[in-house]
Structure 1
């Protein structure tokens, strides 16, 4: 018998704080709305997408006896949290994790989805469900009302013939989509990733739907690019931490041909995007792209140069915790004298934290919105 309770779920190894939660009302609403379809789903016919910390997967297993659940979570810390929570509840054998594609969705009849805020991410997910799931698939997609928009309905209706919107409950709502549009009416080939040539930088950027900024280059990254030639000139290797589409890694590799570059991100979409960016710029043999939770798999005192444009939010919550986690890991991985170059919104005031977690920190540039700093590891 499973020892399952929503109250036992943790976010670990993601940032944990009193105002950050592992489960919310939208998780419970999705599971309640899916009770009927889950009751008749066979083994291996249930798919869970973007389950943040395991509430949907483990709720489906413990409360509705779903088995053979296939799960995709873009964020690696979410995968790890699900694994910890599943082990704690005695449900580790009820699910398997997959990438977003055929193996995840083939013949799926019930899909539970925490709606991403990014419409492009929703479009790529809906497209994959339409192409690979059973024609009888029912998608139960939910979220907090404050993060939902009518544009989400429009995205889903590009891929499904029927859409029903649930009444609100506890500031949450569910969208129920079914009748995927047949392949004869839409292409069977995915249009992702989207690739854009940036002539001013002589760089092609490729992006899957869930990656930050898409195939554009965000203004913080553009500012940090101005400092490439000043970054630890004697370094033989570098890490692009939280690489996103891999713009900084690609620019470093192109500007400094002798540099060995690693691009790392915990987002599966970011890793796939960065690999596509390297391929589009003939840099596959020069840049290694890996999926990692911060720098968990990197040895201590092993890096000479790290570049970072840190996020300032965790999921839908604005929170400094993720940046501090990245700074701390950078401090562990940099060898003495190694440099962290970071760009951040000036109002966030990260300089004291950078000095505390890494070492002496200098301001190297500042414009109307951003500050660029270099921190030298002790």
Structure 2
């Protein structure tokens, strides 16, 4: 099949659907077209793909002739979608997946990446690529024009001697980096002490909020002192950097705590945070909506759900986590969740989990307690 034929078959599943969310976007197509212009014979390139949403970059490159393709996707649902799309297009086994490490970039001659929202995520990619890729590597970073910033040029410029921007096409643009600077090394994970929590928070580049503790999490932490006092098992669902799991495990030594997140960066960050706090007894899993945990086996779930999918503000991601919480909670178990006041989560919590009351609130956030029916 041609690259266009492959792209036409791609789907988002098992990810959620929402208006204006697609499996292949204009940035994917611009990256692939520019890759073929940069390296007409992709079969001779060592290609690394970073944060391919649903497989368009990976499978498009393979369909265009690439034979050595390594992929890192931060989100587990992206890995699952890529695997399903590879099977759908007959390209299963045509690529290898791995963690975001120097080994991923070892000897790479062409890097294709979707521009991350966080500059630190781009910084971690830049440092790893500059340290390990082939000296002749070309790095292509693509995104929507409205989300591309001059700060991205500066970040790439810290790792590469040449950085330029492409012309815009269909509201997308690329940054092109060449010439790795000598002596660049990864500075991640980074850790910072939070005085209010008495905790070192560690984060890889793509982890939400980085080493900062967001205000919603602080409000939930303050409310957790009286949460499910008889609980013996707890789950930090969508754990991010592991702050909630650390607070629970530190304050309640008899509580068995598990932390899950579908983000590879979050899982690595949470492990680093917990290790720094001497809380290695907390189990940290990369898992999509607690899919590998048993039904009705948890007494307490804490959750600070996301409210963005890409650039869109939607409730679907939170609803999936609420549904997961309802499944893993035993009858009478409690879900403690924090969410932005402008989101209509209360009705969903009542419908999906059970009776819901407010435990705390401020001008931006609400903490609710939902009891499993």
- TM-score, normalising length from structure 1? 0.96
1:259 to 242, 255, 261: 255
Corresponding position of 1:21: 22
Aligned pairs for 1:227-242 within 5 A: 227-242=223-238
Aligned pairs for 1:63-102 within 5 A: 64-102=64-102
Q: Quote the offset at 1:8 in angstroms.
A: 2.2
User: Are residue 132 (structure 1) and residue 132 (structure 2) matched?
Assistant: yes
SS of 2:250's partner is: helix
Q: Quote the offset at 1:282 in angstroms.
A: 0.5
Q: Quote the offset at 1:41 in angstroms.
A: 4.1
User: Are residue 365 (structure 1) and residue 360 (structure 2) matched?
Assistant: yes
CA contact (8 A) 2:41 2:65 kept: no
User: Are residue 148 (structure 1) and residue 174 (structure 2) matched?
Assistant: no
Corresponding position of 2:103: 103
> For residues 324 and 200 of structure 1, what CA distance do their matches in structure 2 show?
31
> For residues 56 and 195 of structure 2, what CA distance do their matches in structure 1 show?
45
- 1:293-350 per-position Cα deviation (integer Å, ceiling 9, x unaligned): 1111111111111000011001222111100111111111111111100000111021
Corresponding position of 1:298: 293
> For residues 25 and 157 of structure 1, what CA distance do their matches in structure 2 show?
25
- 1:179-209 per-position Cα deviation (integer Å, ceiling 9, x unaligned): 01012xx4x3x21111111122211110111
Aligned pairs for 1:33-48 within 5 A: 33-42=34-43, 45-48=46-49
* Number of equivalent positions: 372
Corresponding position of 1:348: 343
SS of 1:178's partner is: strand
CA contact (8 A) 1:305 1:334 kept: yes
SS of 1:238's partner is: strand
CA contact (8 A) 2:236 2:259 kept: yes
Aligned pairs for 1:280-299 within 5 A: 280-284=276-280, 286-299=281-294
SS of 1:323's partner is: helix
**Which runs of no fewer than 5 residues in structure 1 stay unpaired?**
none
Mean CA deviation greater in 33-42 or 16-25: 33-42
> For residues 42 and 102 of structure 2, what CA distance do their matches in structure 1 show?
19
Aligned-CA RMSD value: 1.3
User: Are residue 193 (structure 1) and residue 164 (structure 2) matched?
Assistant: no
CA contact (8 A) 2:51 2:114 kept: yes
Q: Quote the offset at 1:377 in angstroms.
A: 0.7
**Which runs of no fewer than 5 residues in structure 2 stay unpaired?**
none
> For residues 225 and 337 of structure 2, what CA distance do their matches in structure 1 show?
14
Corresponding position of 1:115: 115
Q: Quote the offset at 1:39 in angstroms.
A: 2.9
Corresponding position of 1:319: 314
> For residues 342 and 93 of structure 2, what CA distance do their matches in structure 1 show?
46
Corresponding position of 2:177: 177
CA contact (8 A) 1:274 1:289 kept: yes
Q: Quote the offset at 1:17 in angstroms.
A: 2.8
2:198 to 182, 191, 202: 202
Corresponding position of 1:56: 57
SS of 1:226's partner is: helix
Corresponding position of 1:339: 334
Q: Quote the offset at 1:7 in angstroms.
A: 2.8
- 1:127-172 per-position Cα deviation (integer Å, ceiling 9, x unaligned): 0000111111001111110111111111100100011211111000
User: Are residue 250 (structure 1) and residue 251 (structure 2) matched?
Assistant: no
Q: Quote the offset at 1:258 in angstroms.
A: 0.4
> For residues 36 and 162 of structure 2, what CA distance do their matches in structure 1 show?
19
SS of 2:179's partner is: strand
User: Are residue 12 (structure 1) and residue 13 (structure 2) matched?
Assistant: yes
Q: Quote the offset at 1:365 in angstroms.
A: 1.4
Q: Quote the offset at 1:42 in angstroms.
A: 4.4
